[in-house]
Amino acid sequence: MYDEYRKAGEITKVVKKEVELLLKEGTKVLEIAEFVENRIKSLGGELAFPCNISINEIAAHYSPPIYDETMLHRGDYVKVDLGSHINGYIADTAFTVKIGEEKDDMIRASEEALENAISMIKAGVNTSDIGAKIEETIKSYGFKPIENLNGHRLAQNDLHADVTIPNIATDEGYILKDGEVFAIEPFSTNGAGRVIDEDKVFIFKYLVNRPIRLGLARKVLADIRRNYPDLPFAERWLSKKFPGRKLDFALKTLMRNGIIYNYNVLRDEKRGSITQKEHTVIIRKDGCEVTT
């Protein structure tokens, strides 16, 4: 099991280095996402979730649709969140660059918050204390942590298992146990420090099978159950199999019937810019092992 976590992590390390070279003014977001996903597979991994490329005030869940013409511009804060898995054992990692410019304090705030969190993580530590350290670090730079986004436990074929690690101090927490695997992901912002849902949805997850009358929706559901039974998938992946606008209606039908879950695009409530840094770690008695 742990060797598979490590192998998935090694794949993400390679892809992160390579994709960073693509993050330049004028590059299409779609090109970046496709590169990341294809490269993970070429290195022997499977996709743990669609590549997220979230710009400026967008915090998460933006994976470009197949028609996306969005390009990167100088000064954009671009967060690339990618994940690989081997036999369901996941490596989840993310980083931020500012296009055409040097690393600034808001990027450093997220990076140092992650470093400080990792330095204190071991079996027996309370997740509330980790959140307090993340909050303290980010605020020391003059920014706010995102209070309603969290790190999360990873399990086989489960990207968001039953335990979270907050980015702020909390009254109650969870005591970390030896052998558990977590993704730790501080977010810093010059905005509200809280994210809200946008109407846009490009990432989904299968929940349950139910009878459905619409013919195309039945075909889409069959494909989802066959190919994405456990982990999140992108509308873009289905668009290559079911071209045309009818796919959108089919997905909405599946959402209305509670068959799939929708990951709405998340943005800062006051449209402040956001940075992110994330690693996956294996909890040990005397510290933690960073796999990504």
Catalytic position from the list 37, 185, 235, 268: 185
Q: Is 92 a catalytic residue?
A: yes
Catalytic position from the list 135, 152, 268, 279: 152
Q: Is 278 a catalytic residue?
A: yes
Catalytic position from the list 37, 81, 112, 235: 81
Structure tokens at 191: 């905005």
Q: Is 81 a catalytic residue?
A: yes
Q: Is 160 a catalytic residue?
A: yes
Among 80, 55, 30, CA closest to 234: 30
Specify the amino acid at residue 220.
V
The answer to whether 197 and 262 have CB atoms below 8 angstroms apart is: no
Catalytic position from the list 129, 160, 223, 248: 160
Q: Name the one residue in this structure whose structure tokens are 């490590």.
A: 6
Catalytic position from the list 37, 57, 92, 111: 92
Rounded to an integer, what distance in angstroms lies between the CA atom of residue 164 and that of residue 40? 26
For residues 139-170, one letter each, b for 16 or more C-beta atoms within 10 angstroms of the residue's C-beta and e for the rest, the string is bebebbbbbbbbbbbbbeeebbbebbbbbbbb
The answer to whether 91 and 49 have CB atoms below 8 angstroms apart is: no
Catalytic position from the list 10, 57, 112, 278: 278
Phi and psi of 251, rounded to 5°? -65, -40
Upper half-sphere CA count for residue 115 (Cβ side, 13 Å) = 8
As annotated, the active-site residues are: 81, 92, 152, 160, 185, 278
